[in-house]
Amino acid sequence: MKRAVAAALLALVACGSKAASTPTSPTTPAPADPDPLRAAASAAGKLVGTAVQSSFLNDARYSAVFARHFNYVTAEYEMKWDPIERARGAEDFSGGDAIASSAAARGMQVKGHALVWNQAVPSWVGGLSAADLRVEFERHIRSVASHYRGRVIAWDVVNEAVDDVGFGLRDSMFRQKLGDRYIADAFRIAREADPQALLFYNDYGGEGLGGKSDAIYELVKGLLAQGVPIDGVGLQMHVRAAAAPADASVAANMRRLAALGLRVNISEMDVRVGDIGGSTADNLERQKTVYRSLVALCVAEPACHGVTFWGFTDAHSWIYNQYGPDAPLLFDAQYAPKPAFYGVLDALMRR
Ligand code: XIL
């Protein structure tokens, strides 16, 4: 049933626009209005998304590029627990609502992000007893998933629950106070609150085969074996051009997740070049190659329902706070398409 609904939604996306495109070779100067990514994605049966913040939508240039190129949107921040409920019991959905209505007005789908994460948790939650945390945790998931029911096609239900060291479950407050079962509980509550939404586990550093992706694989396999309602896994894909995961490794990881009956998506892609030290032109070409080959994996994998970038203009990226100066996205800070943009377009058009 859920799969049928999702397939119908994808079909809807696919017929929403026609791919009208002129092939653009890497040497062709950038046209002012490049072919829309969303048309190419629709023709490939995929969603192409970006994270946004509602305040950016007031900028006309930002909003024009957003509207032209994307058919899927994720709130970068405003659907997390902290911005929604800074004071206990006083929920404020204004930021996420603004994003959802802007998406609806432009014929875009929305993915909710993220119901349970060890970060962006309101400070009052940290002081709760285990018994009170259970009550608030359940209420939070139910309330937010119900609020957005019918307006999102998917949720990142649990985000980043696997640790980087040893790859056990991260020893977050949720695990400490609620036990390992908090993950299964979160999915069950989300499914009850929004039976139509696809429910994803989302994480970073487990894109290709390796210790962390093995742990994620075992986690979701275990959830499925217990009958937990999980529909897919998000591969965040915050990568460095200099050390991106190998294509074959990511393809194999997507395949083994698909073989469990799950969907996958590339959920937060950006490609850092700040640490390469080459010429700007060389760096941007390397970045293009990484974007192109990794996005092509999603295009080629039937279980991959889309690619979401963690922003689209170098004018706004979380990377600067986290890692320092960089140029990680598809458009430059003046909203001109970079080589990376054409790499993504090529991948979506299978060329
Ligand atoms: C980041 C946002 O980009 C920032 O604006 C916010 O302040 C903190 O979170 N993994 C995730 C995302 O799942 O939610 C994070 O987003 C980036 C890492």
- Tens of pLDDT, residue by residue over 54-82, are 999 999 999 999 999 999 999 999 999 99
How far apart CA 50 and CA 351 sit, in angstroms, is 22
User: Relative to the CA of 51, which ligand 1 atom is closest?
Assistant: 3
- Three-state SS sequence of 35-49: CCHHHHHHHCCCEEE
Q: Is the CB of 77 under 6 A from ligand 1?
A: yes
Q: Is the CB of 268 under 6 A from ligand 1?
A: yes
Ligand 1 midpoint to CA 319 (Å): 9
Q: Which structure tokens are listed for 20?
A: 């009208």
285 phi, psi to nearest 5 deg: -70, -40
- Atom 9, ligand 1: residue with shortest CA distance: 77
Return the sign of the alpha-carbon dihedral for residues 308, 314, 315, 318.
positive
Q: Is the CB of 203 under 6 A from ligand 1?
A: no
What's the confidence (pLDDT) of residue 39?
A: 97
What's the confidence (pLDDT) of residue 34?
A: 86
What's the confidence (pLDDT) of residue 233?
A: 99
What's the confidence (pLDDT) of residue 179?
A: 98
Return the sign of the alpha-carbon dihedral for residues 117, 122, 123, 124.
negative
How far apart CA 91 and CA 93 sit, in angstroms, is 6
Is residue 350 a contact partner of residue 20, using CB atoms and an 8 Å limit?
A: no
Task: Name 198's bridge partners.
Answer: 154
Contacts of 31 (CB under 8 A, 6+ apart): 24
Residues of the chain falling short of pLDDT 50: 1-29
How far apart CA 114 and CA 322 sit, in angstroms, is 19
Concatenating the DSSP letter of every residue in 86-147 gives SBTTB---HHHHHHHHHHHHTT-EEEEEEEEESSS--HHHHT--HHHHHHHHHHHHHHHHHH
What's the confidence (pLDDT) of residue 136?
A: 98
Q: Is the CB of 318 under 6 A from ligand 1?
A: yes
Ligand 1 midpoint to CA 99 (Å): 16
Grouping H, G, I as helix, E, B as strand and the rest as coil, residue 83 is helix
Please tell me the pTM assigned to this model.
Answer: 0.92
How far apart CA 119 and CA 131 sit, in angstroms, is 20
Q: Which structure tokens are listed for 29?
A: 């100067």
What's the confidence (pLDDT) of residue 32?
A: 62
Q: Which structure tokens are listed for 241?
A: 């051009």
What's the confidence (pLDDT) of residue 1?
A: 39
Task: Name 306's bridge partners.
Answer: 47
Q: Is the CB of 320 under 6 A from ligand 1?
A: no
**Residues forming the active site:** 160, 268
